């Protein structure tokens, strides 16, 4: 489950600027300055939290495969008969 959540974070976080950017352009042109400032502060915190989640997800996806190598099934240690696959 941790693997799937980390992959979801890695896929979704880069899309955040594509969603937030057009709203910032619209607000800069059509609203008073204070609304744009409030929007900027409201976006900074979630963006920072998203960046921390992205870094954490990268770390999890780097470490988790190595942790899974500790519990290999016995079948993983058997020799593969490659001649069955290559038809030699």
Residue 72 near residue 18 (C-beta atoms within 8 A): no
pLDDT at 41: 73
Residue 43 per-residue DSSP state: H
What is the tens place of the pLDDT at every residue in 21-79? 777 677 667 777 777 677 777 777 888 888 999 999 999 999 999 999 998 888 888 88
* Average pLDDT score over residue span 8-22: 83
- Among residues 45, 2, 3, the alpha carbon closest in space to that of 20 is found at 45
Cα–Cα distance list, 23 to 33, 53, 84 (Å):
14, 23, 59
The domain limits of the chain are 2-68
């Amino acid at each position: 489950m941790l693997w799937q959540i980390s992959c979801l974070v890695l896929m979704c976080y880069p899309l955040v600027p594509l969603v937030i950017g057009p709203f910032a352009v619209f607000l800069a042109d059509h609203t008073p300055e204070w609304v744009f400032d409030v929007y900027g502060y409201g976006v900074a915190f979630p963006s920072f939290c998203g960046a921390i989640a992205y870094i954490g997800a990268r770390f999890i996806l780097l470490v988790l495969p190595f942790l899974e190598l500790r519990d290999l099934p016995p079948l993983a240690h058997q020799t593969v008969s490659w001649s069955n696959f290559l038809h030699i």
